[in-house]
Amino acid sequence: MSNTVINVAIDGPGGAGKSTSARAAAKELGFIYVDTGALYRAIGVNALRKNIDTKDVSAVAASLEGISVDLVFENGEQKVLLNGEDVSTEIRTPPASMAASDVSAVPEVRAFLFDLQRDIASRNSCIMDGRDIGTVVLPDAQVKIFLTASAEERAQRRFAELQAKGSSSTYQQVLDELIERDYNDSHREIAPLKPAEDSVLLDTTGVSLEEQVEKIINIIKEKIS
């Protein structure tokens, strides 16, 4: 890879495998991996800790006063800091996921995180994943990919992840939450979830993680060659 800063935007709904495959592809290519969803989850966790209704827009906006959210990279691994505390594990719970969906619809939250995301991308060749990276955050990214899969398959993947962590959630609960989040994310007024016009659509239904990573790497290499 050249010394030019290369930005790769990967968007898509929850459970499509964005984080896992983007992290693996970034490691293979020597890029850093930026999980923007983790930033929104941290804002959601902050609101939950303060017993704020995450659907209360003005209360969520006010909760940003004086907080700091940051990403640090240790040995190539991303850690999420909320007011200096590592919340990388706490942000992966189902309540944090739904809170993230709520707070991501708040304009003040998006503005709060926008500069941080842009700054990271300006300084590093990175693969950044989220729901509005190719459309809003990095519209000039050299590579844009929209990753998706059937709702049932995405729910099954998420359910397996949660089971491995000892969660008591049922498959049906996971599927219902995922469908609700899909709807919320694609129907919000600000930066709704949708493919960028110049993105490559990659459907991973029935595709193994290894194949998914390989396809992403091939798309990136093809686009920047």
CATH code of the domain containing 153: 3.40.50.300
Residue 100 belongs to a domain? yes
Q: Which residues pair with 9 in a beta bridge?
A: 128, 144
CA 19 – CA 153 distance, rounded (Å): 16
* Identity at 169, one-letter amino acid code: S
pLDDT band at 167 (very low <50, low <70, confident <90, very high): confident
A 10 A CB-CB count for 167 gives 16
Residue 1 belongs to a domain? no
pLDDT band at 70 (very low <50, low <70, confident <90, very high): confident
CA 31 – CA 18 distance, rounded (Å): 15
The pLDDT tens digits of the residues spanning 9-61 come to: 999 998 898 989 999 999 999 998 998 889 999 999 999 999 999 999 999 99
Give how many domains the chain has, as a whole number.
1
Residue 225 belongs to a domain? no
Pairing state between β 126-130 and 7-11: parallel
> Which pLDDT does position 216 carry in this prediction?
97
> Which pLDDT does position 116 carry in this prediction?
87
Residue 200 belongs to a domain? yes
Average pLDDT over residues 77-100: 92
Residue 72 belongs to a domain? yes
> Which tokens is 140 given?
């000039």
Residue 77 belongs to a domain? yes
Cα dihedral 26, 29, 32, 35 in deg (nearest 10)? -20
Mean pLDDT of the chain: 92
Residue 95 belongs to a domain? yes
> Which pLDDT does position 78 carry in this prediction?
81
> Which tokens is 25 given?
């592809």
pTM: 0.82
What residue numbers bound the domain in which 186 lies?
Answer: 7-220
CA 184 – CA 104 distance, rounded (Å): 10
> Which tokens is 67 given?
């907080």
- Residues above pLDDT 70, as percent of the chain: 99
Cα dihedral 111, 43, 186, 168 in deg (nearest 10)? 170
Average pLDDT over residues 65-86: 88
> Which pLDDT does position 2 carry in this prediction?
53
> Which tokens is 87 given?
């919340």
Asked whether the beta carbons of 30 and 166 are under 8 A apart, the reply is no
Residue 175 belongs to a domain? yes
Pairing state between β 77-82 and 69-74: antiparallel
Average pLDDT over residues 66-91: 89
Average pLDDT over residues 89-105: 91
> Which pLDDT does position 1 carry in this prediction?
47
